[in-house]
Amino acid sequence: KSRETVTQLETALLSRSDIDMAKGALIALHGCSPDEAFDRLVDESQRRNIKLRDVVREMLDRMQKF
């Protein structure tokens, strides 16, 4: 049980770090606030009906290709 909890916490931390990176990219590209950047990510997640972490991961993957 504790190993599962550790894995869940690690995943949450990685997701948080990824979200922060994606927010930073949106802030740099669009000049928006951190809250607006997060709202853009959430809107995209809801529009496409996929998890927020998947939206973020796709965005970061696209950014790495440049």
CATH number of the structural domain spanning residue 10: 1.10.10.10
How far is residue 8 CA from its own chain's centroid? 16
Q: Domain count of the chain?
A: 1
Q: Evaluate if residue 6 carries a pLDDT over 90.
A: no
Residues 6 or more apart from 21 whose CB is under 8 A from it?
56, 60
Q: Give the tens place of pLDDT for each residue, 33-57.
A: 999 999 999 999 999 999 888 999 9
Residue 32: other Cβ atoms inside 10 A: 15
Q: Give percent of the chain with pLDDT exceeding 70.
A: 98
Alpha-carbon distance of 9 to 66, in angstroms, equals: 31
Confidence of residue 8 (pLDDT cuts 50, 70, 90): confident
Q: Evaluate if residue 19 carries a pLDDT over 90.
A: yes
Enclosing domain of residue 10? 2-64
Per-residue confidence (pLDDT) for residue 9, from 0 to 100: 78
